[in-house]
Amino acid sequence: MSITKESELIGMRAISEVVAITLKQMREFAKVGMSTKELDDFGGALLESYGAKSAPNKTYGFPGHTCISVNKEAAHGIPSEKKILKEGDLINIDVSAELNGFWSDNGGSFVLGNDIHNHQPLVDASKNILKKAISNIKGGVRISDIGYLIETEAKKSGYKVIKNLAGHGVGRSLHEEPEDILNYRVKWNKERFKKNTTVAVETFIATKSTIAVQLKDGWTLVGNRGGYVTQHEQTILITDNAPIILTQSNGIWA
C-alpha cells in the first residue's frame, strides 16, 4: 500500500509489531515432542490477545492460524495434531494478520534444537540473502534487479531459488501490487519499487528444487525435485534510502 498519512504508518507499525512478536514467541515456544497444532494454537492465542485476525484464515479459509512447514514442506504447511516436532527438524513459521484494517506478513525458518541434519547453512543463507536484498531496496530500484541479486547470492552459496513463490505488496490486504517480488530476474519486468509503499520481501532458498508443487491436501507445497527449502520474510516501508523494517522485532536476524 502507499503510505500517504501518519495514521496509515501508525496502523502498519502496529500490525507489523503484532505479527513480528508472534513469530518470535512461536519460535521460542517450539519444543521437541510438541505438535504443530499446539504451536499454531499458541500463535493463534497471541494474535487474538492483540485483537488481530489470522490473514490466511480470514482471506483464504486456511485451516490454521499460521502456516507451519516442517522439513521437506516448502510452504503453507497445515498445523496438525499428528505432526510431532523432532530434534533437528527444519521448521518454517509464516505469520500474517490483520488489525484495524491493516495487514502485515513475516516468516522465518529455523532448526529445532541441535542441528543433527546440517540444515543451518541453508537457514543462514536464506537469512543473509534476505538481509542483503532488503538493504538494496529503495524507491526507483527495479524489482527484477532484486530478484537477480537473490538468485545470484543463492548460487554463490550452492543453492537454488523457488521460482513460483514470491514476495508481494501488503497493507490494506494480504496481497497487493506489486504482486510478484520474485527470487530471480524476469528481464521484461520493468516495474520499480515505489517510495512510501509497504511490501513483504521473502527469500525461498532451496537445496534441489526450483518449483513448489501443491500436495493433495490443497495447501501444502513441496519442492518439485525434493530437498529442502528455507524462507525468511520481512514487511518493509520503502524510502529514498534504507528501508524501514516494520517487522524487525521478529528477531530472525539475531
Cα dihedral 38, 48, 248, 2 sign: positive
Q: How far is CA 106 from the centre of its chain?
A: 4
| Cα–Cα separations (whole angstroms), residue 182 to 10, 66, 90, 149, 176 | 28, 22, 23, 11, 14
208-226 pLDDT tens trace: 999 999 999 999 999 999 9
Longest Cα–Cα distance of the chain, Å, equals 49
CA proximity to 242, closest of 147, 133, 91, 166: 133
What is the helix (H) or strand (E) element at residue 221, kind and residue range?
strand 221-223
> CA–CA separation, 16 vs 236, rounded Å?
9
For the domain spanning 6-250, the CATH number is: 3.90.230.10
Assessment of whether the complete model's pTM goes beyond 0.95: yes
> CA–CA separation, 234 vs 80, rounded Å?
26
> CA–CA separation, 121 vs 34, rounded Å?
25
15-64 pLDDT tens trace: 999 999 999 999 999 999 999 999 999 999 999 999 999 999 999 999 99
pLDDT at position 31 is: 98
Q: How far is CA 226 from the centre of its chain?
A: 20
> CA–CA separation, 153 vs 155, rounded Å?
5
Coil, strand or helix at 151: helix
User: Side chain identity at 24, as an amino acid letter?
Assistant: K
